[in-house]
A and B are shown apart, each in its own frame.
Chain A
């Protein structure tokens, strides 16, 4: 199967990257480095309680100040990036894989499978996304794992819908007809001809989806339904600081800015990829 010749080698149209994409990549790379090296670059233990220095404002000793039990906010923001980055991947990948598979099969074969899928899609989008995820997590019980599970249960439909739409147009193209005439089995056609041509918009969507997943993850942490304290996670940190925001604004401010910057990285990259996709289609 692996040595099936690739017939779909159409010269790709000229694709320019948007000026914001290097910025986006730099932000994402920066956060990835921070997450990987957090134990090396964090000045304090993120969970070390220091009653003497609690609620101290940002300064030379504590760049982002300390929280209500004297934990260093800067170190916690750095450590939290591990949780939030992991959350993005764990929240995006399962729906992407499940959705792409179902979308491929549904679009290519049509028939009953396709019909059943479309009904499931109609039903899922009838619910407000956030409420459905919220309800599932509420019923399964709070926690990061249940949050990711709920995302996978709800999120795959958008990917499947997107891939299905791609496949419907690809299915009719001449190179697929050619592959069929040459007698390739459906599995080879799907994996070597349909998938590579359908995957672009999916990647662009997934990167934008990461913003949504990160914000949802932080929101769930904030509501007490996602990551559980004392684990350092941006949403949890903001929730912790909310009661003290009058005296100590820094506990809330910095995790929020961190979330915005990571979100900006994903959003700008997703936007750039989306533009390349659109240009590629019209070119």
Chain B
């Protein structure tokens, strides 16, 4: 299958998934107990106001008509209105997304080098001492609650040693780097074990590949095989890591941002959840899901672009 055909097919699938995502987020708000019109009108609104709001927002229409309205709104870029801020959710997201994006890139920069190093170290001799230690430390790392790690690191490095600020976003690029170091570090510590496991498995799979046997038969030394034959083949698994990372990082960001009071999308989400600002929750869930899907798609297409064999 040619690359263009693949792209066309994946875009078609994308439309289906996007429609599904909008249906789920639409139904999400309808699962909420209570009357949405009352929620929009406020606690002390009169019956007339509620009725007026119900017809104004189309809440008296059948469910499928409401969904259609929601879809049309989405297509025109309107993902709802915050009840608490009285502003469009898209504006809120625009305002709060920068710290989250900064944090995400920061985490990737901190997590990728140790991941690659540890995975290579482990995969060079599967079952060896280094591999066993890395695996056990990785398992232990997975069991650390991120929010607890965050609190403990801010207490030690922030308060006791005073090296890093314990909350906020700072100003300017270096300010961001300084303020977000502990949040990024907490997320990275928890992310590296997940990524190392998956990259290590991918690398070990390469050690048994036919081309490795062929290289060995041609008389290449083990060192050459590792650096020249196996490692270049590890580029694709590393790329796929990025896809795996997104969903994890979004979940991690929600918690870490709360701990360090970073004014990002995660903090916005938690506050919206606690304040029952349903349309912000809906909008953010939608945005998180769409970004995950788009990044996964991008990674898949890149993989297919680099390695023609994957184009099925």
**Partner-contacting stretch, out of A96-104, A169-177, A188-196, A251-259:** A251-259
A132-B285, A135-B28, A224-B274 as given contacts; A267 in contact with B139, CB under 8 Å: yes
Query: B151–A252 contact, CB under 8 A?
Result: yes
CB neighbors of A among B235-260 (8 A): 246-248, 250-252, 254-255, 258-259
Q: Which of B145, B272, B274 contacts A256, CB < 8 Å?
A: B145
**Partner-contacting stretch, out of B46-54, B57-65, B286-294:** B286-294
Assembled-state Cα–Cα distance A20/B137 (Å): 13
Candidate in B278, B285, B292 with the most chain A CB atoms within 10 angstroms: B285
Query: B145–A238 contact, CB under 8 A?
Result: yes
Count of residues in A whose CB is under 8 Å from the partner chain:
47
Kindly state whether residue A122 has any CB partner on chain B within 8 Å.
yes
Query: B20–A119 contact, CB under 8 A?
Result: yes
Query: B269–A134 contact, CB under 8 A?
Result: yes
1/0 per residue A242-271: CB within 8 Å of B?
100110010011011001100110111001
A123-B24, A249-B155, A267-B139 as given contacts; A238 in contact with B148, CB under 8 Å: yes
Query: B254–A139 contact, CB under 8 A?
Result: no
Secondary structure at the B interface, as helix, strand, loop or mixed, is: helix
Assembled-state Cα–Cα distance A130/B244 (Å): 14
Instruction: Specify which chain A residues have a CB less than 8 angstroms from the CB of B145 in the assembled complex.
Output: 215, 218-219, 222, 234-235, 238, 256, 259-260
Kindly state whether residue A136 has any CB partner on chain B within 8 Å.
yes
Instruction: Specify which chain A residues have a CB less than 8 angstroms from the CB of B149 in the assembled complex.
Output: 256
Query: B148–A252 contact, CB under 8 A?
Result: yes
Kindly state whether residue A184 has any CB partner on chain B within 8 Å.
no
A20-B136, A128-B251, A256-B148 as given contacts; A140 in contact with B31, CB under 8 Å: yes
Q: Which A residues have a C-beta under 8 Å from some C-beta of B?
A: 20, 119, 122-123, 126-132, 134-142, 211, 215, 218-219, 222-225, 234-235, 238, 242, 245-246, 249, 252-253, 255-256, 259-260, 263-264, 266-268, 271
Q: Which B residues have a C-beta under 8 Å from some C-beta of A?
A: 16-17, 20-21, 24-25, 28-29, 31-33, 135-136, 139-140, 142-149, 151-152, 154-155, 159, 246-248, 250-252, 254-255, 258-259, 269-270, 272-274, 276, 278, 281-282, 284-285, 288-289, 292-293
Give 14 pairs: A residue, B residue, CB < 8 Å, sorted on A: A123-B17, A130-B247, A130-B252, A130-B254, A131-B269, A134-B273, A135-B25, A139-B28, A211-B142, A224-B274, A238-B148, A252-B155, A264-B140, A271-B135
